[in-house]
């Protein structure tokens, strides 16, 4: 027995279409599948299936399988300014691939947004492989904007973080927590 939804009243009369593959509707309560009284079924769904999560139901077309929604591995990062207690916006980041011989290949150059994150994952799909990588965070100019009397050169300027990917199907999140005098990282989620 799966999980389905009991859709209440006019809350689901016009589900918001996100694409030709899914529809999202607000649910009132979770019921055993199949539901006894489904008030809102799309005509394009011959044998609807639903996924319920935090008050939303996603109805999948019957011709789709779980492989249509399989996630591949990807790499993300963000930067938190621990000296000022905020995300570090406008920091340049370079991503390098490191070969077994130690040769470096530049894969991406991005700048953090107002949330201290990149607008998209740094690596995804077939570009995300088992191997060694290096993120270089250029924080020197970021911290200089807060203190014109900062030492030149700054104590921390370009911070390299070298790490390895052992599972290319997993999500690797490599954040940087940084101040003008120290930094740390971890494998996040």
Instruction: Locate 60 and state its tokens.
Output: 């999948």
User: How far is the C-alpha of 90 from the C-alpha of 24, rounded, in Å?
Assistant: 35
Residues 5-32 pLDDT 10s:
334 433 333 333 334 444 444 444 444 4
Q: Quote the DSSP letter at residue 188.
A: B
Bridge partners, 43 (sequence order): none
* pTM score, whole prediction: 0.64
Residues 101-132 pLDDT 10s:
999 999 999 999 999 999 999 999 889 999 99
Task: For residue 8, give Cα distances in angstroms to 24, 144, 149.
Answer: 14, 56, 62
Is 74-185 a CATH 2.60.40.180 domain? yes
CATH 2.60.40.180 in the chain: give the residue spans: 74-185
């Amino acid at each position: 027995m799966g999980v389905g939804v009991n859709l209440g009243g006019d809350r689901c009369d016009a589900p918001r279409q996100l694409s030709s593959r899914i529809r999202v509707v607000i649910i009132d309560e979770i019921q055993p599948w199949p539901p006894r009284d489904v008030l809102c079924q799309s005509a394009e769904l011959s044998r609807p299936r639903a996924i319920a999560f935090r008050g939303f139901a996603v109805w999948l077309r019957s011709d789709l399988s779980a492989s249509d929604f399989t996630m591949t591995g990807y790499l993300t990062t963000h930067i938190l300014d621990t000296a000022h207690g905020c995300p570090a916006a406008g920091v340049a980041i370079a991503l390098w691939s490191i070969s077994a011989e130690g040769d470096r290949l530049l894969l991406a150059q991005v700048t953090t947004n107002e949330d201290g994150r990149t607008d998209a994952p740094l690596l995804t799909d077939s570009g995300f492989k088992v191997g060694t990588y290096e993120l270089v965070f250029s924080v020197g100019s970021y911290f200089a904007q807060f203190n014109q009397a900062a030492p030149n050169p700054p104590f921390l300027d370009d911070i390299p973080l070298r790490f390895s990917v052992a599972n290319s199907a997993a999500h690797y999140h490599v954040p940087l927590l940084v101040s003008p005098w120290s930094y740390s990282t971890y494998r996040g989620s």
